[in-house]
Amino acid sequence: MKLTSEFRRSELAQGLVSRIHRRSKAPARLMEFCGGHTVAILKHGIRQLLPPTIEMLSGPGCPVCVTANADLDKAMALAKVPGVILATFGDMLKIPGSNSSLQEAKAEGADVRIVYSTMDGLDIARQNPEKSVVFLGIGFETTAPTLAASVLQAEQEGIENYYILSQHKLCPPVTRALLDSGEVKLQGIVCPGHVSVIIGSRSWEFIPRDYGIPCVVSGFEPLDILQCIDMLLTQIESGISTVEIAYRRGVRPEGNQTAQELMKEVFEPCPTSWRGVGIVPQSGLRLRERYRRFDAELAFDFDPGPTKEHQGCICGEILRGVKTPRDCPLFAKVCNPEQPVGSCMVSSEGSCAAYYLYGLDR
């Protein structure tokens, strides 16, 4: 608790807020990429503390939210294959695909099990040798190494009934895609903390180099985020664009090289679809040839059927930072955490869920 409380000290927060107000002169639009930052900013009322010159936008940093309906439909179809156990993290259960959710598939008899780690999926495979266990791999660089480790462990033990459906995504390529689109003009970017623990702050150097936009990697406590904003303002006012770290207790420039090597051993980059963005080159992870026998898409014959989007849902525009949840006609009316229409309302890191829980003026 001490480590948490030290980053929530009100007198330090007041000092940072006063400093930000004194120094913020010109309008500055900042985007936090990570959904964890979006939740922290809204939960702690940070937007209300900032001067009107600073606008905070939310980006596509929630792996559950950015999973396209076509990929969700694959998971749903796999769950219905006879003899298959689908293992998944709990926040995937209520995400609506084209026609249903995994929760509905489970209610209809599919064997869908909530797990807390990839190793839980391996345990299920060990305990059910007569079944095929498919682990639904959702996440960014933060969780991809754990999925890679489970594949290596399964190979080492000779576990032949374990498969993965890899829907992991890489953050730098989609950040480049958003900046290339030019839809939103940014003066600064709050780079994701947990992702940067793995890939390191150097992975973001292309942003100031190629786009002239300042970047700071932030932690998730109020003082982390306020310090990050203050550091971004310093760069903006000085006309400097570089990558800095406001989360040195967790992030190093080179990242976690052991985790990186795990990913490189098992996976290779591939094109993949992001909700609201489309196909982004080299932003997905697929199994390398050596490990393709673990690929659920190759191992099973299944038909996900036609894909469709949910009428009226603007999750795609919210994930690109073009609109906010309050712009959605369904927000807090038809769509809420108990009956979500879009993925941004389901995930604990989704923008719509964060606005619903912590938005003071919804």
CATH assignment at residue 85: 3.40.50.11740
Predicted confidence at residue 5, as pLDDT, reads 65
Q: Are residues 113 and 40 in the same domain?
A: yes
Q: How far apart are CA 305 and CA 264, in angstroms?
A: 32
Tell me the average pLDDT across 213-219: 97
Q: Are residues 284 and 340 in the same domain?
A: no
190 in Cβ contact with 213 (< 8 Å):
no
Q: Are residues 301 and 320 in the same domain?
A: no
Task: Give the pLDDT band (50/70/90) at residue 338.
Answer: confident
Tell me the average pLDDT across 131-152: 97
Q: What would the pLDDT profile of 309-332 be if each residue is shown by its tens digit?
A: 888 999 999 999 999 999 999 999
Q: What would the pLDDT profile of 228-279 be if each residue is shown by its tens digit?
A: 999 999 999 999 999 999 999 999 999 999 999 999 999 999 999 999 999 9
Task: Give the pLDDT band (50/70/90) at residue 49.
Answer: very high
Output the average pLDDT for the chain. 94
Q: Are residues 258 and 240 in the same domain?
A: yes
Q: Which domain range does residue 342 map to?
A: 315-358
**Percent of the residues in the chain that have a pLDDT greater than 70, as a whole number:** 97
Q: Are residues 191 and 327 in the same domain?
A: no
Predicted confidence at residue 8, as pLDDT, reads 67
Say whether pLDDT at 81 is over 50.
Answer: yes
Predicted confidence at residue 204, as pLDDT, reads 98
Predicted confidence at residue 339, as pLDDT, reads 87
Q: Are residues 326 and 287 in the same domain?
A: no
Q: What would the pLDDT profile of 106-136 be if each residue is shown by its tens digit?
A: 999 999 999 999 999 999 999 999 999 999 9
Strands of the chain (E only): list them: 28-34, 54-61, 84-88, 111-114, 132-139, 162-168, 188-191, 215-218, 243-246, 267-274, 278-287
Predicted confidence at residue 3, as pLDDT, reads 60
Say whether pLDDT at 9 is over 90.
Answer: no
How far, in whole angstroms, is CA 85 from its chain's centroid? 25
How far, in whole angstroms, is CA 257 from its chain's centroid? 21
Q: How far apart are CA 171 and CA 176, in angstroms?
A: 9
- Give the full edge-to-edge strand order of the sheet including 188-191: 54-61, 28-34, 188-191, 215-218, 243-246
Tell me how many domains the chain contains: 2
Q: Are residues 201 and 286 in the same domain?
A: yes
Q: Are residues 327 and 179 in the same domain?
A: no
Q: Are residues 328 and 299 in the same domain?
A: no
Query: In the listed set 309, 326, 345, which residue is the last one of a domain according to the structure?
Result: 309
Say whether pLDDT at 157 is over 70.
Answer: yes
CA-based nearest residue to 168, from 118, 220, 215: 118
Single pTM value for the model = 0.93
Q: Are residues 305 and 319 in the same domain?
A: no
Predicted confidence at residue 362, as pLDDT, reads 42
Q: Are residues 346 and 296 in the same domain?
A: no
* Widest Cα–Cα separation across the chain: 66
Q: Are residues 349 and 265 in the same domain?
A: no
Among 48-57, 78-87, 125-134, 343-352, which stretch is predicted with the lowest mean pLDDT?
343-352
